[in-house]
């Protein structure tokens, strides 16, 4: 009301993932944001737990709504998926990640960047070719790019997904299962899909210090992954105690606020300089 008539604004409580506005207006706001190129990619560093050194980054989509602040991807990604907008946005974010990787490489930082891939994006016919073409255009070795997929997105069209992932894995891209342990799929898909990394979901990490069951699950996931020659990443590590525990359990990498928060590329350069 203070802004006068004919204006809408969005409100989001930091801890909430719902907006008190209709889906249609959110959809329209997203279309505008896409047209106006308002999406950004931020990067969260991952740490190699044994050496304490940088292991790579995860690219996370950010949308800053005018006068409101950031809207959680948990709110807007499902809408991008439902409307099909995730296809062009998804290619844009791979393109952006490649541009940023090139910039990091020019700074002497040759670390892999992981990009989150939605189900609908992965099962596009020419997805593998599109990704490989972008890597070539930017003169980047394919090992530099990792794809993160959730169990549920793999299981939507498993046969097709497996074929596309095999093609990408053959080209040396890294394939990670995201939010591992929260899906309802069986473990057999670990044989079916050419996966080289498991990311243990934050929900198991949060209570790991107090909850012996969570600790056992994390321990079991790490042993199984290592038995399958996979790399294990723990997500949502917020405390030194969690990091120490994960180190004891032989986890390979950690990601979370304890090490670093997601940040824009400009800030990342400063963060990297500070680390050295
Ligand atoms: P995700 O892939 O599991 O990403 C990790 C989420 O955990 C990110 O939330 C990150 O900011 C947050 N996080 C990292 N460290 C900590 C920590 O120590 N504590 C806590 N509490 N949270 C931490 P974000 O950026 O809000 O993203 C939410 C989800 O949205 C992602 O979960 C992913 O599923 C999806 N998403 C984000 N970016 C993209 C994208 O570019 N494409 C697609 N398809 N999905 C994306
Ligand atoms: Ca992820
Ligand atoms: Ca995750
Ligand atoms: Ca998660």
Return the DSSP state at 257.
T
Tell me: pLDDT of 8 over 80.
no
Task: Identify the pLDDT of residue 188.
Answer: 85
- What does the mean pLDDT of the chain come to? 91
Under the banding of pLDDT at 50, 70 and 90, the label for residue 10 is: low
Ligand 1 atom with the smallest distance to the CA of 199 is 3
Q: 230, exposed or middle or buried, with CB in 10 Å at 0-12, 13-18, 19+?
A: buried
Tell me: pLDDT of 236 over 80.
yes
Tell me: pLDDT of 127 over 60.
yes
Ligand nearest to the CA of 85: 1
Tell me: pLDDT of 221 over 70.
yes
Tell me: pLDDT of 20 over 60.
no
Return the DSSP state at 204.
H
Tell me: pLDDT of 241 over 90.
yes
CA of residue 28 to ligand 2 center, whole Å: 26
Residues in the chain: 276
Task: Identify the pLDDT of residue 89.
Answer: 97
Least confident of 61-70, 108-117, 193-202: 61-70
Q: Please state the rounded mean pLDDT for residues 35-45.
A: 96
Ligand nearest to the CA of 80: 1
CA of residue 199 to ligand 4 center, whole Å: 9
Find the residues whose C-beta lies inside 6 A of ligand 1. 44, 60-61, 72-74, 77, 93, 116-118, 148, 178-179, 202, 235-238, 255-257, 262
Residue among 85, 116, 258 to mutate when testing ligand 1 (max atoms within 8 A of CB) = 116
Please calculate the CA angle 271-145-220 and round it to the nearest 5 degrees. Answer: 85
């Amino acid at each position: 009301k203070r802004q006068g008539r004919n204006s809408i604004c969005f409100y989001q409580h930091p801890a909430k993932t719902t907006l008190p506005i209709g889906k249609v207006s959110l959809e329209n706001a997203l279309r505008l944001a896409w047209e106006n190129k308002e999406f950004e990619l931020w990067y969260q560093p991952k740490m190699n737990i044994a050496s304490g050194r940088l292991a790579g980054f995860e690219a996370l989509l950010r949308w800053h709504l005018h006068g409101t602040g950031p809207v959680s991807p948990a709110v807007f990604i499902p809408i991008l998926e439902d409307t099909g907008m995730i296809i062009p946005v998804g290619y844009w974010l791979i393109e952006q990640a490649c541009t940023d990787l090139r910039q990091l490489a020019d700074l002497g930082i040759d670390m892999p960047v992981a990009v989150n891939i939605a189900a609908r994006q992965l099962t596009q016919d020419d997805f593998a070719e599109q990704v490989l073409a972008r890597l070539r255009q930017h003169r980047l070795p394919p090992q530099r790019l990792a794809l993160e997929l959730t169990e549920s997105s793999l299981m939507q069209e498993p046969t097709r997904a497996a074929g596309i992932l095999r093609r990408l894995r053959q080209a040396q891209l890294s394939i990670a299962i995201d939010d591992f342990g929260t899906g309802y799929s069986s473990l057999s898909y670990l044989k079916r899909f050419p996966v080289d990394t498991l990311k243990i979901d934050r929900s198991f990490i949060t209570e790991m210090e107090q909850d012996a069951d969570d600790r056992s699950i994390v321990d079991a996931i790490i042993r199984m992954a290592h038995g399958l020659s996979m790399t294990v990443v723990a997500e949502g590590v917020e405390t030194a105690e969690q990091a120490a525990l994960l180190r004891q359990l032989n986890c390979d990498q950690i990601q979370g606020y304890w090490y670093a928060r997601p940040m824009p590329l400009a800030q990342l350069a400063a963060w990297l300089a500070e680390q050295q």
